[in-house]
Amino acid sequence: MALNTQAPQTASPSINEEPKGLILIVDDTPHNLQILSTALTKQGYQVRGAANGSMALIGARNIMPDLILLDIKMPEMDGYTVCEKLKAEAETQEIPVIFISALDDALDKVKAFDVGGVDYITKPFQLAEILARVDNQLTIGRLQKAQRLQNEQLQKEIRNRIAAETQIQALNADLEQRVIQRTERLNQEIAQREQAQKLLKYMAMHDPLTDLPNRTLFLNHLEEALQQLQQTPDHSFSLLFLDCDRFKAINDALGHLVGDQFLVAIGQRLQTCVGDQMLARLGGDEFTILLQNTPNKTVATSVAETIQQSLLRPFDINGNEFFISASIGIVISHSSYKQPADMLRDADTAMYRAKALGKARHVVFNTSMHEDVQNSLQLETDLRRAIDRQEFILNYQPIVALDTGLIRGFEALVRWISPDLGFVSPGQFIPLAEDTGLIIPLGEWVLREACRQLRTWQTENLTDIPLTMSVNLSVKQFSQPNLIETIDQILAETQLSAHCLKLEITESAIMENSESAAKILDQLRARHIHLSIDDFGTGYSSLSYLNRFPVNTLKVDRSFVSRLDSDEPNIAIVQAIVTLAQTMGMDVVAEGIETTEQQLQLKSLGCEYGQGYLFCKPVNAEAASEILTRKNHSFG
């Protein structure tokens, strides 16, 4: 938009009324120009407009406005650059500039004052605020102009009355006093402005809660350390990335006010551990430490151990004791690091490795960790594509009656056959699917496909035995609010009777939210869907939840079965599980049976059913169909 050389026609001052001042508005948004121009014209100002930085510079030189309202975010040339150019030219450097911008960050405001702005207004603006600030700046300008005229007049009087020495001395003394006063006021204003700028810079570089350096300041120091490392190879330092373990539980239980007090206390304790070394709060419950002069990892790990020992002591918050632990990732400086973000990333990776290993510990980063993260990220991408492309198949492992060897059902097990990766182990992709939430669509596909396959076998009359299909439900699936509706829909689509479906869930899935779990399990029981506790004995194993929830089957974990041949205490554990199940009217399925001796031992202990390589490994649907067509469908 070209420079508007015509004053707006709305509410113009009368011919005899002297304008209050000439204002140049610079904004690339026509709507903003119109609003400001109209409002200022109504107040008696002359207004000119410019839609970009280049036209603003031309207009300022030509019309010499009393004040410039300058937008920051403009194409080609932003407001900061325009202001710098104005201040660089003698004829325009005295024109006051007020910045108007949607940017509200402290650093933006600091920069605005650094380039010569006299004020800063944040969008969306209030017209009343703009009018007040414009009037204030123009008033200051008029006063300054009046002072200049007054000084000139005083000097003229001195020259005219040079003959009167006494009067000249008095005038000189008066002038000197006025200059001193003006200088004092000016120095005071400069000092106040400098103090305000220092405060803004400090606030921009420090965490408002703990008063520790923030991410920006820490990264600046880290960048300086890396530059020094490039110049002086003998220079060494370490980066510690600390994350409090289970801090969210404190916020959830006690509220964010107590949580904030706790963070302040943690920051203070960390400071006592690291002394004058750089300690920063990145955000949340994450802290970073920059340790200088650490030629090897021993120094860094020693500091980490000191921190962890210090955190073992209780924290007193409002008269109450609290405890916390931390996971710490450590990175030792190396010439391969060029950017601070890369070093921070690797420290974060090491910290998460510490959490994965059980929390309350420290781990030193090595390159294999980064490779693991990259591989995991790539595997996640491949997994998402695999779900879209339906690269999965189901294998079925028979569940056998130990006394007769007859097949009583199958467990559906998902397998991933990638055209690029080949066979991907469930141990790789199932945990990843859990972490990313992809287990929800994958689990729904498994349930639908397993029900469809069992219904197919039923319609083909491959067996007279009423088979069941066992399908695993993950913790995230079990917590879905539409779980019951999804199961109902799948059973309706596949036309499979609900009593033929057996859902396997872990103890942790039940105990993480026992109230909602009870409602879901009751709804499943009302539909005659069987329920199994998978890997029983490795989790909570609480008699109270077994008595409370409608469970049909306990599955003995393979870790117990594998030690039956030689471990007497292990036999007693399995016997206790079987006895418990029988007492509570449940049946028992043993997983991972690989030897005849294990089968006979389980049978003698009263275990009714089993599955494992002794009978059959998981097979595809075609092979499972062939097994069902065998005489008696028996492994006896």
The pLDDT of 225-239, averaged and rounded, is 90
**Of the candidates 125, 136, 79, which has an alpha carbon nearest to the alpha carbon of residue 102?**
125
pLDDT tens column, 595-634: 999 999 999 999 999 999 999 999 999 999 999 987 555 6
Write down the pLDDT at residue 478.
87
Q: Judge whether residue 517 has pLDDT over 90.
A: no
CB-based burial of residue 9 (10 Å sphere; 0-12 exposed, 13-18 middle, 19+ buried)?
exposed
Q: What is the pLDDT of residue 545?
A: 63
pLDDT score of 78 more than 70: yes
Average pLDDT over residues 104-130: 85
pLDDT band at 484 (very low <50, low <70, confident <90, very high): very high
Give the mean pLDDT of 480-495. 94
* Helix, strand, coil share (%) of the chain residues, nearest 5: 50, 20, 30
Q: How far is CA 173 from CA 6, 168, 179, 345, in A?
A: 49, 8, 10, 67
Quick: pLDDT tens for 12-61.
454 455 678 899 999 988 888 899 999 899 999 999 999 998 998 998 99
Residue 548: pLDDT over 80:
no
Res. 5: pLDDT tops 90: no
Residue pair 407/627 in contact by the 8 Å Cβ criterion? yes
Mean pLDDT of the region 348-360: 90
Q: Does the pLDDT value for residue 8 go beyond 70?
A: no
The confidence score (pLDDT) of residue 634 equals 65
Count, residues in the chain: 636
Question: Dihedral of the CA atoms 547, 548, 552, 556 (nearest 10)?
Answer: -60
Q: Please say whether the beta carbons of 117 and 43 come within 8 A.
A: no
0.95 exceeded by the pTM? no
pLDDT tens figures, 277-311: 999 999 899 999 999 988 888 999 999 999 999 99
- Tell me what pLDDT residue 2 has: 36
Q: Does residue 124 have a cis peptide bond before it, meaning omega lies within 30 degrees of 0? A: yes
616-622's contacts with Cβ under 8 Å and 24+ in sequence apart are 616/397, 616/398, 617/397, 618/395, 618/396, 618/397, 618/411, 618/413, 618/415, 619/395, 619/396, 619/397, 620/393, 620/394, 620/395, 620/396, 621/394, 621/396, 621/453
- Selection from 50-54, 436-440, 468-472 with the highest mean pLDDT: 468-472
Give the three-state DSSP class for 208: coil
Looking at residue 91, what DSSP letter applies? T
Residue of higher predicted confidence among 99 and 464: 99
pLDDT at residue 266 tops 60: yes
Q: 4 vs 73, which has greater pLDDT?
A: 73
C-alpha triplet 594, 394, 501: angle, nearest 5°:
85
Residue 439 pLDDT class (50, 70, 90 cuts): very high
DSSP at 541: -
What pLDDT does 15 receive? 47
Flag whether pLDDT at 520 surpasses 80. Answer: yes
CA angle, 157 as apex, 155 and 159 as ends, to 5°? 70
Over range 142-153, report the average pLDDT: 82
Q: Quick check: 535 pLDDT over 60?
A: yes
